[in-house]
A and B are shown apart, each in its own frame.
Chain A
Amino acid sequence: MSRSYLPHWVHWLGSPPNFYRFAGALRPWLMAVALVSAVIGLYGGLLLAPPDYQQGDAYRIIFIHVPSAWMSLFIYATMAVAGLVALVWRVKLAEVIAMECAPTGAAFTFITLVTGSLWGKPMWGTWWTWDARLTSELVLLFLYFGVIGLYNAFEDRRRGARAASLLALVGIVNLPIVHYSVQWWNTLHQGTTVNFLDPARSSIAPSMLWPLLVMALATHLYFFASLLGRTRTGLLSLESGKQWVRALVGGQPAQTTGAPT
């Protein structure tokens, strides 16, 4: 086996029934911590943080806009990595994970665009402008739609997943464009607020920064919880003929005859 260098638990987790059980056990905990941190983050952002000296209370959209924007990129990267594994090693679980990333990624991208629009209207005086940051984020949404559409266009779901994974990999070029668009082009969109490499250069007060980071944590945990749930359903659907799914759904193995169900 050429894959023997992988630790044992990777093989164990890569098997659909094992992953199904593992995800089912982990998911409620992730969602619980996500909800608790969202409540803390929103309390800090909407009640504790002071109004901005320039933008007043309108800036409070930042606590959902920026975490959603980060998620739109993070989920795309996750989808592309899973897609790469799906294409190179043809791992069924990776195919499902890659495809189940797309709807949540599209959801966060959509939230980013809408909340940005609602923030842009009072601050810039316009709902929309074709500047580099906004346009590249819109392209990101269309990439997600492209992945979902291509996946659904195939009769053979596994071939569809691999084709869509290839599209996801090609679309990766858009990620640095989104991220650096505010530096490469002269845009209406404001520059980077939080600088992770050099925190001293972050142009945000600590009382506003911590709720933002807690919301970022909440959205990441939410994404993992959502992905685990979607992947479980995806595995059930893809493996519907398999013994483990029959046992799980029917309670009785199919070949036993005469037994009451």
Chain B
Amino acid sequence: MSSADYKIKSYCHIRDGKVSKNGEVLFSDSSEEFSAFIKATYKHFETDYSKFFKMDNLSKLAFMGAEVLLRDTDEKNIALILSNRASSLDTDRKHQAAISKQSGAFASPAVFVYTLPNICMGEISIRHELYSENSFFIFAEFKPHLLSDYANDLLETEKANEVLCGWVDYDKGKYDAFLYVIAKKGLLPLDTGELTKLYRTK
């Protein structure tokens, strides 16, 4: 099967107080602050996963996006290829603040562990029992063509049956997640134009 045959099986957006799947809004919440919004999202989807509350903002965002897309699938060989602009800077700043105090500077291991952007993929892997490949890229903006190249290779070499790709960025209170599953069967053709259009959909 060549890359021309792969499809976008499903996609989701989490931004501007809304969570949508395949273009349909599943949940919206008017909370101004992300932590209130994402907690409401967690509750709305009856997630029941207490570890969620230990996660940092980036991981909570990625986790809920993956939850929406992977909840009803049996497929386990799903690779994760995520990307963003801010890496784990939101949490990095917290760790930096903790160690910069003039007196009583104590680093928190629970904060430090999240000072890597790929941890969010670890959380998704644990939740959905995925022993698959994870790669986290940093770009100035969403780059569907690069993610697709990479995903194509994983699918062609049969390293994965499906690939969860996308953009999950959290920085200075602003959040933007666009995740999609690439598979052999799906709704939409896999091409850069289509992905860019979907990403930009409000």
Chains A and B form a bound pair: no
| Interface residues in chain B, defined as those with a beta carbon under 8 Å from any beta carbon in chain A | none
| Interface residues in chain A, defined as those with a beta carbon under 8 Å from any beta carbon in chain B | none
